A = this chain, B = another copy of it.
Amino acid sequence: MAFIQKVKSAHVSLGAGIDIVAPEQDSDEMYTLFSGWAFRYKELADGRRQILNFLLPGDLVGLQASMFNAAQHGIATLTEVQLCVLPRRKVWTIFETMPDLAFDITWLGAREESIVDQNLLTVGRMNARERVAALIIGLYKRCNALGLAKDGMFPFPLNQHHISDALGLSLAHTNKTLAYLRRIGMFTLEGGMMDLANPRALQRMGQVFDAEFQARPLI
């Protein structure tokens, strides 16, 4: 967030369920997410969709797009969103004149990759219950770090379609798995607020380790 404050320029507001960057699009801007939720995704030709990771306030939007000629993925909003715009050519200016900010950009990129890594482990090697647990607890921890959670409660703007596409499961099976976790009392969800009765138990089920992403001292 400190990073955002420094580079802040124009704000842009967008509604929920909108594509910020379409797949294959040649976007000319990089953004930073100031408020709201978004997600990155990829699609196959026949429509199968995989959500790569969710973006929360403070995350960089479109770093890849600003490095390559065409984005390899799409980005869409989950809620209303406020973006801080960063014109692409300014990225290079940052590298030239503000090495500490350039370092922050790289750091944010590395952190995002680390999240995608974790998602790949989840999707590749966990069963349905573990996957759902890992997703919920992962988002909970990120909300917690941002001060958006309070004793087990946090905003949860995903629908079951998003969950299944993030976890590589079918919609029907996602629903049944959620029903199971709800039945054994792991959570309740209403009005877009998730309420975790026992985060520790959910964390065990999701096999999530504590990754803190502490910045290293630079020297």
Interface residues of A (CB under 8 A from B): 40, 42, 44-45, 48-50, 52, 63-64, 66-69, 72-73, 88-89, 92, 95-96, 99-100, 102-103, 105-107, 109-114, 116-121, 123-126, 167-168, 207, 211-216, 218-219
Contact = CB atoms under 8 A, between A and B. Distances in A.
Given A50-B121, A69-B214, 7 more contacts: A42-B117, A44-B121, A63-B110, A68-B214, A72-B211, A106-B109, A124-B167
A64 to B, nearest CB: 5
Instruction: Tell me the dominant secondary structure on chain A's binding face.
Output: helix
Contact of A117 (B95, B109, B116): B116
Given A103-B95, A109-B113, A120 B119 contact: yes
A114 B72 contact: yes
Given A117-B116, A120-B123, A121-B44, A69 B102 contact: no
A117 B123 CA distance: 12
A218 B90 CA distance: 9
A124 B218 contact: no
Contact of A216 (B49, B52, B69, B207): B69
Contacts of A95: 99-100, 102-103, 106
A54 to B, nearest CB: 13
A64 B52 CA distance: 18
A95 B88 CA distance: 19
A200 B36 CA distance: 42
A52 B103 CA distance: 24
A98 to B, nearest CB: 9
Contacts of A119: 120
B109 A215 contact: no
Given A49-B125, A52-B117, A121-B44, A110 B64 contact: yes
A102 B106 contact: yes
B125 A168 contact: yes
24 contacts: A42-B121, A44-B121, A45-B207, A48-B125, A50-B124, A52-B121, A63-B106, A64-B110, A67-B106, A67-B111, A67-B216, A68-B111, A68-B114, A88-B216, A95-B100, A95-B103, A95-B106, A102-B102, A102-B103, A113-B113, A113-B116, A120-B120, A123-B124, A124-B167
